[in-house]
Amino acid sequence: MKKVFYVCILILFLYPALMCSHSAGTGGGEMNIIIVNNPYSGSRSGPELSKGPGILAEGGVMGILSKMGCNVKNIVTVSLTPEEEKDYGVWHRLGLANGHLGKLTAKSIKEGCFVIGFLANCNSLMGMLAGLQHSGPGRRPIKVGLVWIDAHGDFNTPETTLSGMLGGMPVAVSAGLCLTRLRLKSGLEPALPARYIVMAGVRDTDPLEQELIDRSDIEMISVDDIRNLSKNIHNQMKRLSQLTDIIYIHIDMDVLDPKEVSGHGLTVPGGPTSKELAAALTVMFKYPKAAALGIASYPAGKDKDNLSLKAAYNLVQGAIKGIKTR
């Protein structure tokens, strides 16, 4: 009986890494992918539903993934039930949508699939994290690491924000600093410890937001680190791999050189090109615990010559290349 007990404990301990490895299609097998779209934006000033995720899913990514030896098992889109659609409050409905996003993500990872999330904006973060948090073998949440790739920290709270935008708060919400009801409705519990978070490419923060970041245990990867593929990328991925069971890599497309995302309303000068970031993603996704990629804020309807679409697909290809080298 003792031998059986210790074998079970060993399986529970190793499960997240084994699952990530399987989802990556290592060992020469075909890599299975599920694409999850979340069109719910949580926006009070614009459309509640974004067309961006659907465009990313249907604009040619299937052919790209097929050529890379991947099998897209399914494309699923988050939707609320008819009863939920009647609920009052855009933020409340976002929390409900994130709850569905988390369940779809967790189910996909448990089935051994790599997850690509095409997301209306960064407010989907809590749902993606919740999905990874509940993708383990039991009912207990597992520890999730986050690589946050964005021109902005999105670490504001209602007390620090200058704009009042919910889109400037999702990392702070995920870290348990504010809007607890939204985090819980999204299914993320417990909140992420700040030391489980790495920010990459961040170069535009509000003053009090920066103070919060400086007081936290959040680690940084600079734009120069990305461009030069510095050792800091490896160092941070090794650190997260030691601290956590599974890692989510999230990208807001405003992190890129504004030339590639000219239709995005929040561009910031000095960003990496999509090819430079793709090369960094290849490094990050060599690490077996990296189990999901999220791409948010595609500028639907404002993408001249499909430059942003091509940039997004460059990022997907960079991630897949990394997984294929495991």
Reported as a pLDDT band with limits 50, 70 and 90, residue 290 is: very high
Give the up-direction half-sphere exposure of residue 302: CA atoms within 13 A in the CB hemisphere: 13
What superfamily in CATH does domain 2-324 come from? Ureohydrolase domain (3.40.800.10)
User: Average pLDDT, stretch 277-303?
Assistant: 98
Contact 224, 119 (CB under 8 A): no
Q: What is the mean pLDDT of the chain?
A: 92
pLDDT, one tens digit per residue, over 12-39 is 444 444 443 334 444 456 899 999 999 9
Q: What is the pTM of this model?
A: 0.91
The pLDDT, as a whole number, for residue 7 is: 39
The pLDDT, as a whole number, for residue 46 is: 83
What are the extents of the domains in the chain?
2-324
* Percentage, residues of the chain above pLDDT 70: 91
Q: How far apart are CA 228 and CA 231, in angstroms?
A: 9
Query: At residue 110, does pLDDT exceed 60?
Result: yes
Alpha helices (H) in 50-153, listed in sequence order: 52-58, 61-67, 82-85, 90-110, 125-133
User: Average pLDDT, stretch 137-160?
Assistant: 97
Contact 146, 248 (CB under 8 A): yes
pLDDT, one tens digit per residue, over 120-133 is 999 999 999 999 99
Here the tokens at position 295 are 């791409």
Query: CA separation (Å) from 126 to 20, 61, 187, 290?
Result: 20, 25, 8, 17
Query: At residue 58, does pLDDT exceed 70?
Result: yes
The pLDDT, as a whole number, for residue 138 is: 87
Query: At residue 6, does pLDDT exceed 50?
Result: no
What is the identity of the amino acid at 255?
Answer: V
pLDDT, one tens digit per residue, over 231-274 is 999 999 999 999 999 999 999 999 999 999 999 999 999 999 99
Q: How far apart are CA 131 and CA 109, in angstroms?
A: 9
pLDDT, one tens digit per residue, over 197-211 is 999 999 999 999 999
Q: How far apart are CA 118 and CA 99, in angstroms?
A: 16
β-pairing verdict for 70-77 and 31-38: parallel
Q: How far apart are CA 88 and CA 108, in angstroms?
A: 30
Q: How far apart are CA 38 and CA 96, in angstroms?
A: 11
The pLDDT, as a whole number, for residue 16 is: 41
